Chain A
Amino acid sequence: MSGGAADSGLHERTLADLAEGLATGEFSSCELTEALLARIDRHGTTLNAFITVTAGQALEQAAQADKVRASGDAGRLTGLPIVHKDIFCTEGVLTSCGSRILDNFVSPYDATVVERLSAAGMIMLGKTNMDEFAMGSSTESSYFGPVNNPWNTQRSPGGSSGGSAAAVAARLVPAATGTDTGGSIRQPAALTGTTGIKPTYGRVSRYGMVAFASSLDQAGVITRSAEDAAMLLGVMAGCDSRDSTSADHPVPDYVAALAKPLKELRVGIVRQHFDEGLDEKCADAVRTALRTLEEAGAKLVEVDLPNIDLSVPTYYVVAPAECSSNLSRFDGVRFGHRAGDPQDLLDLYCRSRGEGFGAEVKRRIMTGTYVLSAGYYDAYYLKAQKVRQLISQDFKDAFESVDVIAGPTAPTTAFAIGEKTDDPITMYLNDIYTIGANLAGLPGISVPCGLIDGMPAGLQLVGPHFGEGTILACAHQYQQLTDWHTRCPEDFA
């Protein structure tokens, strides 16, 4: 390849565009992989977006993909690069989940998401940094240090999929997987100017995805466009016999669904979303985006989610309760960190966990233990599950009269690293607009809708259960009318 790998310009292209280039023989998967690995090498340290880079393995896979293509058996994704959040198990590769307790864990198997993307011919370039066990909204709780936002490296990229979002925003890779329990794909996508989709609960298998809160966790992707997200979701989605909560529901052609025009689309605007707490400039950016949808033929309808203000406190009972149960498997016995010289079994458990978990994870385990403990269960856990039902019903009622619900993804643009670490509640409120979709199991997508003082803002679109096709189409049509998703942080152009 002429001109050297690093300035090939391949990093500027979307997944759909790269697929075209591979198909026409403009470049090979080996050339593409080398170009992106060189970019990761050059910028990776500045951003701290990666925990592991799998260069050797990636080059082997790329060579294999080129052979498959030469033999005429290539699919649309064959030879295209992707990175995985370090929460997905990858056989033979460190799967740390951003934690000290798993900093020596080499997974013996692949997550279904990893397996399916790999079977489609995609090349894994590495594993991305994240909040420890996906618990955080800033990627500051990672044992491997915080991730820096490519738009301003003093600021957070959001979280917990902050490494994935930063890598895509900085054009180190065209696509990355993520997980979203309370906003962990959509909020970092908003804060980094990328597109991030959290599918319906159960749409994508959770097998091999380290569990945080099992009734809320869902896997998705962060990309540069809704079109790219549609290409990947079609491969990731679908029933999996190894995850009994994965939905036995047909997977539509999401790429074909993108063509659906905005005309006649009923877009719900939630009254409560524009109350206090939302930065005025973010509100303006979202209002402008809504006008764009309206001018293209969408019908804006005001809707009410009367209990949505209770979504964050509800989440901070349900999620920690499930986390305290899920994380009991880390005991220093079968895998992961084990404390030295234990006095007895209790000491082995307590010190392995005390040393292995970071401060935020400990707080969540303890919050969950408290709300599930004798005498408090009814007051907290049971009550939260009742309120969750109310919130879920509010969404159902709203979807009687609208096709999608649109609003802000996050209350502000990216905040400074260290700004919100002293008060957990301030950090939790970052997810005020995203958590509702997790509680109700609904799909949501965040798309870039403006730059405020040089930092990206996001528009969130939430759909009814299995309405991925609708929100992807709405996002795609919006991206045909705007160019916010094509903007690149200056230092990474």
Chain B
Amino acid sequence: MSLTKDQVQHIAILARLRLEESEFDDVVDKLSRIVDFVDQLQAAPADDVLPMAHPLNMAQRLRTDEVTETNGRDYFQENAPLTEGGYYLVPKVIE
């Protein structure tokens, strides 16, 4: 195994993913296989190569600074699990 259970637990927290105890062995096993597989890139001679940033090397388009969208808050919040007075509700953050 190229990854330990502790490493996987750390990655899961960074990724904000709760893994069930029953999932762990499978995740450690398969993630290790994926990491081993992509490790073959290390041997590729590419030191002087410019990393690719975009498939077409396009320049970013700019648009004029004009109002194009109207406020659709109520409409968009129809998909929200919990709102109040136009706000999204989350568990208390500040005591």
Give B30-64 interface residues, CB cut-off 8 Å to A: 30-31, 33-35, 37-42, 44, 46-47, 49-56, 58, 60-61, 63
Asked whether, in the complex, the Cβ of B16 is within 8 Å of the Cβ of A350, the reply is yes
Give A367-419 interface residues, CB cut-off 8 Å to B: 367, 369-371, 373, 379-380, 382-390, 392
Given contacts A313-B41, A366-B27, A392-B55, contact A386 B46 (CB under 8 A): yes
- Give B82-95 as 1s and 0s: 1 = Cβ < 8 Å from A's Cβ atoms: 10000010111100
Say yes or no: is A198 at the interface (Cβ < 8 Å to chain B).
no
- Give B5-28 as 1s and 0s: 1 = Cβ < 8 Å from A's Cβ atoms: 000100111111111100100110
Interface size on B, residues (CB 8 A): 54
Rounded to whole Å, the gap between the CB of A110 and the closest CB of chain B is: 14
Closest to B48 in A: A386
Asked whether, in the complex, the Cβ of B18 is within 8 Å of the Cβ of A350, the reply is yes
Asked whether, in the complex, the Cβ of B41 is within 8 Å of the Cβ of A314, the reply is yes
Asked whether, in the complex, the Cβ of A363 is within 8 Å of the Cβ of B27, the reply is yes
Give A442-485 interface residues, CB cut-off 8 Å to B: 465
A389 to B51, CA, bound (A): 6
Say yes or no: is A425 at the interface (Cβ < 8 Å to chain B).
yes
- Give B61-84 as 1s and 0s: 1 = Cβ < 8 Å from A's Cβ atoms: 101000000001001101111100
Say yes or no: is A106 at the interface (Cβ < 8 Å to chain B).
yes
Interface size on A, residues (CB 8 A): 75
A-B contacts, CB under 8 A, total: 172
Asked whether, in the complex, the Cβ of B58 is within 8 Å of the Cβ of A247, the reply is yes
Given contacts A106-B79, A108-B75, A370-B35, contact A353 B17 (CB under 8 A): yes
A362 to B91, CA, bound (A): 24
Q: Which of B13, B34, B42 contacts A424, CB < 8 Å?
A: B34
Name the A residues within 8 Å of B13 (CB-CB). 350
Name the A residues within 8 Å of B78 (CB-CB). 106, 108
Asked whether, in the complex, the Cβ of A425 is within 8 Å of the Cβ of B34, the reply is yes
Residues of chain A touching chain B, judged by Cβ–Cβ distance below 8 Å, are 104-106, 108, 200-202, 215-216, 241, 244-245, 247-248, 307, 310, 312-314, 316-317, 324, 328, 331-338, 342-351, 353-355, 357, 359, 362-363, 365-367, 369-371, 373, 379-380, 382-390, 392, 423-425, 428, 439-441, 465
Given contacts A317-B41, A344-B91, A386-B46, 12 further A-B contacts (CB under 8 A): A245-B58, A313-B37, A313-B39, A316-B34, A328-B16, A366-B15, A367-B35, A370-B31, A379-B42, A385-B52, A390-B44, A424-B34
